[in-house]
Amino acid sequence: MSDAQPAPLSFRNLLLAVLSGVLLTLAFPPGPFSFVAWFALVPLLKGIQTASPSDAFKLGLVSGLAHYMTLIYWIIVVLEHYGKLHFLVALFSLLLLSLYLSLYLGLFSILASGIVDSRLTPLLLAGYWVALEYVKTHLITGFPWCLLGYSQYEHLYLIQAADLLGVYGISFLIVLINGFVFSIITRPRPRIGAVLKWEVPVAFLLVAGAWMYGHYRISGIETDSPGGRPAKAVIIQANIDQSIKWDPAYQEKTLQTYFRLTHSALDFQPELIVWPETSVPFFFQEHTKLSPGVFSLAEESGAVLLFGSPAYRRDRGAVHYYNRAYMIAPESRQLLYYDKIHLVPFGEYVPFKKYLPFIHRLVEAAGDFASGEKSEALKAGDLSVGVLICFEAIFPELAGALARDGANILVNITNDAWFGRTSAPYQHLSMAVFRAIETHRPMIRAANTGFSAFITPTGVIQGKSDLFAEAVLKGSITLGDSPLTFYSRFGDIFAGILVILSAMHLLYGIWKRRRRKAGGAG
């Protein structure tokens, strides 16, 4: 703990906190400012340097609100424009979610305020940050949207370490550098020599080490003899207007759009055709007059057809609805499916609905959605497809489980039309890049209105479509059969260790403080 006397919660420190929040947002897409992530926390750390724990928490909360209100502002678009909620209700919902997420930055600030003058400040800051990111990913429903490491998704050499440590490893490195920068600019002049002698070289070596590992991984994957066979795939982006998507009068027209675009790609002789989430906007399982056309198209194409459609199951008088992905394998006439496991809170179901009656579901299909029972790859011949539906692409453990189940390709089907022309589609795509790197599996991303793309196992985005435009993307992918990565095999062992070490350090600090007080009282 710093020996300096706590300073009052000044306007200057509040501005520093807000500045950090804004810089954190700027680091994420669509802007080209990812580099600011490497010093975005420095103003906040400066503001809490002499703050009391309570003031540090308030500054962290302010910084978090500045960050999340500008990062996920698109929630207003989702709730007001598509969810038909009043603007004030949408704004309040954004504020409520931002306030919850800001609590983590508030906790980080409390913890940081006690270690800003420690010789191990950078390491401790990075450890605490990752521990809190991990908790945020798993607590309650989990909302790991735009964890700090995702800001570097375009820097492919740097982020290859995600196949060892996940996105948490990149977050750790970024916060570590923030800590080094803070130490350099705030240490007293007599101690600056030690900083330049030890901390600057360590920072350089860590970043250089990550970059060199990335160069090694990318070079190895690109130059080694290909492990899997190539397969042709087609992505259909039909750009169906969300306002008419579920209107029964437009169901046939919607399907005809998919048929037309798919037929235009058959000369490519694809082995796999992917349509987006809920691209078939009716209950496909009921075998209505529109269902046979989908089967016929799969048979005509000779390709495996994967698409999204709502589904339901009756159980003892109750009806459970699912967000489902179907896969038709024409040669074996198999119809396989996967039900979405990780649902979107306040979109596909309402957590704590009893206590939040003002929030209504956004999904226009009937009923609240139920979670699927298991995550497993859908197999047709030597195609083993790991499906991630929409929001699931931001949960690394789901992709890892699919890789362990034998998936040699990941497919993310989504309907980002909810987001409108906001920054959310850019952010959503950036997180999908990490799932390919973590598993060393190619990813096909099919979005109703964009962005659709092919993503290589090293995170290269290929053939990206435009937003709100019809698109037919053709690509050749190499089915991944490389050994499981360290991350796919062992998951978040790195983050878990940091959670344990951070908890131990926190408990030690509390014990030490109580012992000091007891000694003073004696």
Q: DSSP string spanning 171-184?
A: HHHHHHHHHHHHHH
Structure tokens at 458: 């090293």
Residue 225 pLDDT grade (very low, low, confident, very high; cuts 50, 70, 90): very low
Structure tokens at 341: 């496991």
517 is catalytic: no
Write down the pLDDT at residue 6.
55
Share of the chain above pLDDT 70, in %: 90
Q: Containing H/E element for 390?
A: none
> For 16-37, what is the mean pLDDT?
97
Residue 501 burial (CB count, 10 A): 15
- Is beta strand 304-315 parallel, antiparallel or unpaired with respect to 272-274? parallel
Cβ neighbors of 346 (< 8 A, separation 6 or more) are 93, 359, 361, 362
Name the phi and psi angles at 474, rounded to 5: -115, 135
Dist CA 144 CA 426 (whole Å): 16
Dist CA 426 CA 430 (whole Å): 6
Please write the tens of the pLDDT for every residue from 380-415: 989 999 999 999 999 999 999 999 999 999 999 999
Structure tokens at 129: 């940050």
Q: Are 218 and 158 contacting, i.e. CB atoms less than 8 angstroms apart?
A: no
474 is catalytic: no
Report whether pLDDT(118) > 80.
Answer: no
- Domains of the chain and any CATH numbers: 11-222+492-521 (no CATH), 230-490 (3.60.110.10)
Residue 248 burial (CB count, 10 A): 8
Residue 365 pLDDT grade (very low, low, confident, very high; cuts 50, 70, 90): very low
Write down the pLDDT at residue 203.
81
Return the residue matching tokens 């929040």. Answer: 21
Report whether pLDDT(258) > 70.
Answer: yes
Q: Please give the residue that has the higher pLDDT: either 192 or 123.
A: 123
Task: Give how far the C-alpha of residue 98 lies from the chain's centroid of Cα atoms, to the nearest Å.
Answer: 16
Which amino acid is residue 119, in one-letter code?
R
Least confident of 161-165, 336-340, 507-511: 507-511
Write down the pLDDT at residue 227.
61
Report whether pLDDT(189) > 70.
Answer: no
Beta strands in 415-513 (DSSP E): 443-447, 453-455, 461-462, 471-478
Write down the pLDDT at residue 271.
96
Write down the pLDDT at residue 367.
46
Report whether pLDDT(50) > 70.
Answer: yes
Report whether pLDDT(69) > 90.
Answer: yes
390 is catalytic: yes
> For 512-519, what is the mean pLDDT?
78
Structure tokens at 439: 């598993």
> For 325-337, what is the mean pLDDT?
87
First to last CA, the chain: 21
Dist CA 383 CA 455 (whole Å): 17
Cα-only R_g, the chain: 25
Name the active-site residue from 80, 133, 271, 277.
277
Dist CA 135 CA 496 (whole Å): 10
> For 39-50, what is the mean pLDDT?
95
Name the active-site residue from 340, 348, 392, 438.
340
- 113-117, 255-259, 511-515: range with highest mean pLDDT: 255-259
Cα angle, residue 448 at apex, residues 446 and 449 outer, rounded to 5°: 110
> For 191-197, what is the mean pLDDT?
62
Q: Are 419 and 281 contacting, i.e. CB atoms less than 8 angstroms apart?
A: no
Name the active-site residue from 245, 390, 392, 438.
390
